[in-house]
Amino acid sequence: MAYFLGIDAGATKTNCVLGTETDVLARAHGGSIKVARVSEADAEKHLQDVLSFLVQQSGVALSAITGTCVGLSGISISSVADWVRNALAAHVSGTIEICGDELIALDAAFHGGRGILAIAGTGSHVVGRARDGQLVRTGGWGPVMSDQGAGTRIGLLALRAMFHAQDASEATALLPAIHAAWGTHTIEDLIERGNSLPVVEFSKLAPLVAEAAAAGDAVARSVLQQSGEELADLVLLAMRKGSALESSASSHFSTVEPWTVAYTGSVVEKISFLRECTIVAIHRSDPAVQFQPGPADPPLGALWRAAKCASRS
């Protein structure tokens, strides 16, 4: 029997699955193996830890692995991708594919088929695949220029909305919540903290914005609604790009087929109000769009790609 390994190698954590073409036999979670974020020694330890756990849980030896796929954030940094490839080659047998982490998430949702995936965690972007396999992308220009619907932008929008509420003498639960999160006591403290260098992690404010919104805070709800609608705009732009590719490729695609949208990422998965606002905004523009009911599971996309890559070799 052929066994495959799928790895989602993020900046802060590594998620792995080991299985066959049809079944997951084991899962493991560990620290990052991205050497741009951790030392090579730590990355090697994290890799060994997750691989050892997979072997223990599945009973499958690493020498029996037929193919591995790693979805890696920051794949454009050759030293990062090369380290992962070489480190894996020292432990597992078979083919090894390294690709962008957005591709394994897209394939987790659509298995190489047509569809649009919204990714919103600390950062955000949208990636889609047209019927002929061409990829489309929107967003992903970083926290200053983009990241619509993501944690960093939600934190920034929350601070701006909170300060606007102060100017308007409008009550909001965001002020005491942000004070508690940052350990500040006055508006002046907040101003100093928010404008400090190095830049603070605004994304850590997103959970408290979600809590305030769930409790009915109007300012927090407006921040999440704006964020959801901004993420929806990226999805709609990606759909438009994909439809344009299909229309120009062949007369067979001249009739626009409704798109299916999937999602993944901590923010869009955990903040249901933002996700609902995104769906409502997309349906307002295109009522025919369909939505997958649950989040995409990126390691499963890597597992699928590993099997496909091995079959071609």
pLDDT tens for residues 277-301? 999 999 999 999 999 999 999 999 9
**DSSP assigned state of 204:** G
Mean pLDDT of 181-208: 92
Compute the distance between CA of residue 22 and CA of residue 38 in angstroms, rounded to an integer.
34
Does 311 score more than 80 pLDDT?
yes
Q: Residue 22 and residue 1: Cα distance in Å, rounded? A: 11
pLDDT at residue number 96? 96
pLDDT tens digit sequence for 227-241: 999 999 999 999 999
How much is the average pLDDT of 46-64?
Answer: 97
**Cα–Cα distance, 2 to 209 (Å, whole number):** 46
CA atoms within 13 A on the CB side of 157: 25
Fold (CATH) for 3-93: Nucleotidyltransferase; domain 5 (3.30.420)
Confidence check: pLDDT of 252 > 60: no
Domains 3-93 and 113-294 share a fold: yes
- pLDDT at residue 58 is higher than 60: yes
- E-strand stretches of 153-289: 260-264
- Pick from 134, 105, 98, 68: which is nearest to 268 by CA? 105
Report yes or no: 69 and 17 within 8 Å, Cβ to Cβ: no
Closest CA to 301 of 259, 257, 264, 268: 264
Can you give the residue ranges of every domain in the chain?
A: 3-93, 113-294
pLDDT at 210 over 70: yes
Instruction: Tell me the two tokens of residue 102.
Output: 């957005």
Q: Domain spanning 113-294: which superfamily?
A: ATPase, nucleotide binding domain (3.30.420.40)
C-alpha closest to that of 159 among 123, 122, 191: 191
Identify residue 197 by its one-letter amino acid code.
L
Gap between the Cα atoms of 223 and 231, Å rounded: 12
Mean pLDDT over 272-278 rounds to: 98
Span 120-153, pLDDT tens digits: 998 999 999 999 999 999 999 988 899 999 999 9
pLDDT at residue 74 in the model: 73
**252 versus 303: which is more confidently predicted?**
303
